[in-house]
Amino acid sequence: MSVREPIAHGGDLDAARSLFPEAPEPWIDLSTGINPVPYPCPALEASAFHRLPSAADLAGLHRAAARAYGVADPDRIVAAPGTQILIETLPRLRAPGRVAVLGPTYAEHAAAWTRAGHRVATVAEIGGAAGADVVVIVNPNNPDGRRWTAGTLLALAGDLAGRGGLLVVDEAFIDLEPVESLAPAIVPGLVVLRSFGKTYGLAGIRLGFALCDPALAARLAEALGPWAVSGPALAIGRTALSDEAWRQDARVARGADAARLDWMIARAGGIVVGGTGLFRTADFPAGAALFERLGAAGIYVRRFAGAPGRLRFGLPADKTEWCRLSRILR
């Protein structure tokens, strides 16, 4: 039995330290697309830690998520301990078939459908997905920031639903973007995934959502089992999702940060080829050498095996981190 090669992900500072053992601490981790200015966690009652979450706790989170995402019916919301669990679970709810993943994109989508016995192909455009039973699209896409209109995606969802198929749209990076979400337009044959940790800078909370028709939502919830989301995550998620003012402020602030990063990349000779308000992807004439220079200075960015000149930068968290990055890029 073969063991699959692990997929490289951002945020692995153990790998960074192994590559650059002499780098100064503390590391600046720019290898992820997580909001570097996290939501201020509310004080939690001790009972959130010592008792099992109640049905009322979960229902409160579902209502907050429905309001935040514009979903009319909380029964269309499934809360999970991170969207990765949903990415793993969805393929197991369907008989093996043909799956098209628009890529290159987040590699765990194709890996999860493959592990569940589906025949998976990566395609560059929607037209290449013709004949697939399931289509997976990340909108906006990671790492190139590519976007699709709601009209295009809803038409595809309708076509797939008409023949028993499924469209999975991963909107992990949409919260802070001027991109129209499909969340208010959930129809049978469509699943929308939303990430909590990226937007709110609280990836360690492990919270994510699937938005889908109530029948599929019930199947997903059953597959996840009882108490899938911890009490502290329920409480923090409910408070944060209800804070529309914070979300609006974060959208403006991270947009300004992304523009600042674009300027620094251009000054260093890079060309921004895509991204979102939480990361920028750029090509450099000597990207491999720049990755080494950044790493030696204790700054970890994302590189791509198939494109050695391409680097992805998350956003620095504060003035000290911005200054350290600026010195190396300059």
Does residue 19 carry a pLDDT above 60? yes
Q: Residue 250, by phi and psi: left (phi above 0), alpha (psi -120 to 50) or beta? A: alpha
Residue at which a domain ends, from 183, 207, 242: 242
pLDDT above 90 (res 159): yes
- Picking from 224, 242, 260, the residue at the C-terminal end of a domain is 242
Segment 187-195 shows an average pLDDT of 97
Q: Which of 1-5, 134-138, 186-190 has the lowest mean pLDDT?
A: 1-5
Instruction: Please give the tally of structural domains in the chain.
Output: 2
Residue 39 lies in a domain: no
Q: Is residue 280 part of a domain?
A: yes
Higher per-residue pLDDT: 308 or 263: 263
CATH code of 292's domain? 3.90.1150.10
Claim to verify: residue 211 and residue 256 sit in the same structural domain: no
Identify whether residues 199 and 251 lie together within a single domain. no
The per-residue pLDDT for 9 is 85
Give domain status of residue 1, yes or no: no
Domain assignment present for residue 316? The answer is: yes
Q: pLDDT > 70: what percent of the chain?
A: 98
User: Does one domain contain both 282 and 228?
Assistant: no
User: What is the average pLDDT across 79-86?
Assistant: 98
Cis peptide, bond prior to residue 21, ω within 30 of zero: no
Residue 323 in domain:
yes
* Region for residue 270 given its phi and psi (left: phi exceeds 0; alpha: psi -120 to 50; beta: otherwise): beta
**Do 87 and 137 lie in a common domain?**
yes
Q: Has residue 203 been placed in a domain?
A: yes
List, in sequence order, every residue forming a beta bridge with 79; answer none if it has no partner.
209
Statement: the pTM of the whole predicted model exceeds 0.75? yes
> Would you state the pLDDT for residue 3?
43
Q: Phi first, then psi: give them for residue 65, nearest 5 degrees.
A: -65, -40
Exposure string for 170-202, b = 16+ CB within 10 A, e = fewer: bbbbbbbbebbbbbebbeebbbbbbbbbbbbbb
Is the domain of 170 the same as that of 284? Answer: no
Crossing angle of helices 231-241 and 55-69, in 10° steps, is: 30
pLDDT band at 149 (very low <50, low <70, confident <90, very high): very high
Task: Read off the pLDDT of residues 200-259 as tens digits, 9 standing for 90 and up.
Answer: 999 999 999 999 999 999 999 999 999 999 999 999 999 999 999 999 999 999 999 999
Domain that holds residue 298: 13-33+245-329
pLDDT at 147: 97
Summarize the confidence of residues 177-205 as an average pLDDT: 96
Name the domain boundary from 217, 242, 267: 242
- Identify the CATH number of the domain in which residue 75 sits: 3.40.640.10
Specify whether 17 is located in the same domain as 153: no
Question: Residues 324, 304: one domain?
Answer: yes
pLDDT at residue number 1 = 33
Residue 141 lies in a domain: yes
Question: How high is the pLDDT of residue 4?
Answer: 61
Based on the domain organization, do 206 and 274 belong to the same domain? no
Positive or negative torsion for Cα 256, 260, 265, 269: positive
Same domain, 61 and 183: yes
Residue 167 sits in the same domain as residue 76? yes
- Examine residue 318 and state whether it is found in any structural domain, yes or no: yes
pLDDT digits (tens, 9 = 90+) for 161-172: 999 999 999 999
Same domain assignment for residues 223 and 255: no
**Do 69 and 188 reside in the same domain of the chain?**
yes
> Is 60 exceeded by the pLDDT of residue 2?
no
